[in-house]
Amino acid sequence: MRRFAIAFLLVAGADDKPPLAHFDCGAHYYGATVWRATADGKTLVTIGHESSLRVWDTATGKLARTLWLPRAAGGKNAGAKLWLAPDGKRAAVPYYTPEEPRGKLALIPLDDSGTYRVIGGDTFEVSEAAFSPNGKLVATTAGPLPVNVWDTATGKRVSVLNFDPDLRATGIAFTPDGTKIAVGLPMVNFNELKRSVIALYDTATGKW
């Protein structure tokens, strides 16, 4: 079996410094396709095309646990998308079955409790997502559809951020206080010229 490793380097003097740690990702069949670090820097989460999450200790480089995703999690491009909640306790991945709407998101606890929540339900597979700073909300977009804001505890839609249906959101981010959401939109007609813009929406109302 081919083996893969991720090396984290010191930022200063990286040319002549050894890696801080190596993470052997050989357990992922084709290597780790996406990796995310928690805000405190203590944990690294990786995902592979075999639809498993690997949770690593960044201090030692050792694998802490392996989480096998639900059958429908990951979508047709399993392993291509991964988002982490700010507290580092949950991961989010696209989720759908042939019988259900594709635009769902599976919230996976990283403590290996075995319970997960599925939210959303748009026509297209989730392409971008972002958690609010307190982790109570998650914003998603799918294909040319608007950005939807969901309550992570109840799964209910909180607001909808509408924009021109010919556009696709290229990125989503909450402001530090969570009251606004920035959405990247390409090629918007602005002062008679086409420009890529960042639109700022009110989280609660979905208004510009």
Which alpha helices (H) appear in the chain, and where do they start and end?
Answer: none
Q: Which residues pair with 65 in a beta bridge?
A: 55
pLDDT in tens, 155-196: 999 999 998 777 888 899 999 999 999 999 887 665 655 677
Query: Which has the closest alpha carbon to 128: 164, 161, 88?
Result: 161
Q: What is the mean pLDDT of the chain?
A: 81
The average pLDDT across 97-107 equals: 76
- Name the percent of the chain lying above pLDDT 90: 37
The average pLDDT across 4-21 equals: 53
Residue 72 is predicted with a pLDDT of 58
